[in-house]
Structure 1
């Protein structure tokens, strides 16, 4: 992943419920820093009366220490995980962050194209990928066509937010 988007634990935690498996998946694909796992463990310690020794060990790690073996101990591998849902969560989080920070980038739609490729060309975002053919007529200018893509991007985010929204 080459788009210099590193989601923070605070950002993720405000948006959706994530599992330890979600965190492991994202760390392995460089979507988030391993520090997110440590921050999640620290948050869990502060929120719960009792935590497992594995969570305590993870919370005590320094950012430069290896995390994989600790994370593997925290994850219950007896539970089945749906990788499609995990992928959809991270696709949503990255595109959401990018959309609301698009002014910081020279070509946000170019980044969408990279994300589209990195996530193996998910159909649900093809409507706001510039090089994908559209069933809709040309709007008459590049600016109007791009505005339509941004509108589709925002609609995708609204739909995914409903799907993954953190229950309060």
Structure 2
């Protein structure tokens, strides 16, 4: 996973979804965020919770990556396991949203979607904006109209995913 080697900035991620320790672990295991995201999240937890755990406090002061792994494993082992699907859905949305927002800087944003489609094991919910997938919609008269439709389908997915993740 993460064939594109996109590392999402922590501030971007938290501005779009609410995180859990399981999400942080998922992101770090798949190189979707930098290791210091765990430390930043620990700071956020300390700021929000009245009595954060000693593990969270210790994680906030970590200086090396091995310690991050140790504390993160301790934190995720203590909580009830969140299904990987939820973390996967969040990061599928985040990656696709990041690319959509930066599509002008990408030489081929549709190729990036195709790579993410494969990385995430071909999720049905994004197949209608994977350009090589057959469309169930009526055939359009030009390539430009088809590209416009794909971008529109992509935007529709992003809006629906955002609403779904806010539940």
- Give your verdict on TM over 0.5: yes
Alignment of 1:123-134 (within 5 A): 123-134=124-135
Query: Per-residue displacement from partner, 1:81-120 (whole Å, max 9, x unpaired)?
Result: 2222221111011111111111111111110000000000
Query: Per-residue displacement from partner, 1:11-41 (whole Å, max 9, x unpaired)?
Result: 1111111110011011101111111111101
* Aligned residues between the structures: 165
Alignment of 1:1-168 (within 5 A): 1-62=2-63, 64-66=64-66, 67-165=68-166
Partners of 2:142 and 2:131 in 1: how far apart? 13
Partners of 2:82 and 2:45 in 1: how far apart? 21
Specify which structure has the higher proportion of helix.
2
3-state secondary structure, aligned to 2:65: coil
Partners of 2:18 and 2:78 in 1: how far apart? 19
Query: Per-residue displacement from partner, 1:30-70 (whole Å, max 9, x unpaired)?
Result: 111111111101122233332111111111113x4222211
3-state secondary structure, aligned to 2:107: coil
**Structure 1 segments of 4 or more deviating over 3 A?**
none
Partners of 1:51 and 1:90 in 2: how far apart? 26
Partners of 2:72 and 2:143 in 1: how far apart? 46
Q: Which runs of 5+ in 2 are unaligned?
A: none
1:76 Cα deviation after fit: 4.3
Partners of 2:79 and 2:14 in 1: how far apart? 24
State whether residues 90 and 165 of structure 2, in contact with CA within 8 Å, keep that contact through their aligned partners in structure 1.
yes
Structure 1 length normalisation: TM-score? 0.91
